[in-house]
Each structure stands twice: as structure tokens, then as C-alpha cells.
Amino acid sequence: MTKSNTGMVDPQESAAKELKTYALGFAASVLLTGVAFAAAISDLPAVWKVGIICLAALLQIVAHLRNFLHLSFSGGQSREDLLLVLFSVTLLAIMAGGTWYIMADLGGRMHEKGMMPHEASP
């Protein structure tokens, strides 16, 4: 970790291989975006639509991290990369979970339908 980093691409890694990774990532991203749009336009039930869109989004995040940001769990940087992922997931879980907690509670207090009330209604 303390060794200085020149920010250069490892010369051993050929440019062609780099390019292939990027192209793969790009193709996967386009495909997954297409899937999300297709799901939105289709006449599947709403729960399915939301589920498919969320799944496509998650997969696309993985594709970006792997193919564009060179995240990997093997090799010289794996420990740092793992820590980074865990830290990010923790913060995102706090934000997403907190939002759910707060908005569901508010929805429940307003007798909103389709939300999970935090407290039993009176």
C-alpha cells in the first residue's frame, strides 16, 4: 500500500486485453439497460417489473466495477478492493435502509396503501 503508484497501466497487460474488457463491459451495460427498458414497457405485473429492473441495475453496477474500474478480489489489490466494497455497501445500506425505515413509517402514519406500516394502525 505504501509503494508509490505511477498511475500507469501495467505494460505487461496488453492494450488488446484492456480493450476487450472495456468492450465486454460496454456490451453488458447496453444489454442490461435494454432489459430494464423492455421490462418497463412489457405488460408483466408491477412486482415483476420492479424486480427485473432492480436486478438489471445491480448486475450493471457489478459490470461497471469489474470492467471499467478494474475491481477484483484476486491479485495485488484484492484486500483494498474488498474493504472498499464492504465500506460502500455499508454506507449504501444505511442510506437505503434508513430511507425505507423513514418513508415506510411516514406512509403508515398516513394510512398509505401498499406500504408496510411501522406501527399497527389504530
Partner 1 sequence: MSASTSPIVGKLDWTVTPYTDLLHQVNSSTIVGAGAASVLVLGAVAGGAVLTWMRWWGPLYRNWLTSADAKKIGIMYIALALVMLARGIIEGFVMRAHQATALGTLTEPESGLVAPDHFAQLFSTHGTIMIFFVAMPLLIGLINFVLPQQLGARDMAFPVLNQVSLGLTAAGAGLVMISLLIGKFGTGGWTMYPPYTGIQYSPGEGVDYWLWAILISGMGSTLTGMNFAVTIFKSRAPGMNFMRMPLFCWTSLCVAIMLIYAMPALTVSSAMLALDRYAGFHFFTNEAGGNMMNYANIFWMFGHPEVYILILPAFGVFSEISSTFSGKKLYGYTSLVIASMSIAVISFTVWLHHFFTMGQSAGVNIAFGIATMIIGIPTGVKIYDWMATLWRGRVRITAPIVYLTGFFLLFVIGGLSGIILANPSIDYQVHNSTFLVAHFHNVIIPGVLYGMLAGIHYWFPKAFGFRLDERWGRRTALLFVGGFVFTFMPLYVLGLMGMPRRSPTFQNPDFLPWMYVASFGAVLMLGALASLVWTFWTSYRNRAALAVPGGDPWNGATLEWSTPAPVPKWTFARIPEVKARDDWGETKRAGDPWKAPEGYDDIEMPADTPHGLLIAGAAFALGFAMVWHIWWLAALGFLAIPALLAWRGMKVIEPRIIPAAEVEEADRRFRATVASLAPATRADEESERNRGRPDLAEFAG
Q: Which three cell numbers mark 118?
A: 411501522
Task: Note whether 88 and 71 are within 8 A (CB).
Answer: no
Among 86, 94, 111, 116, binds partner 1 (CB under 8 A): 94
Say what the alpha-carbon torsion angle 23, 54, 52, 115 is, to the nearest 10 degrees. -170
Site string for partner 1, 45-84 (x = CB under 8 A): -----------------------------------x----
Q: Which three cell numbers mark 15?
A: 492494450
How far is 13 from 11, CA to CA, in rounded Å? Answer: 5
Among 2, 12, 74, 121, binds partner 1 (CB under 8 A): 2
Q: Please report how close the Cβ of residue 107 comes to partner 1 at its closest, in angstroms.
A: 8
What is the binding site for partner 1 (CB under 8 A)? 1-5, 7, 80, 88, 91, 94-95, 98-99, 101-103, 105-106, 109-110, 118-119
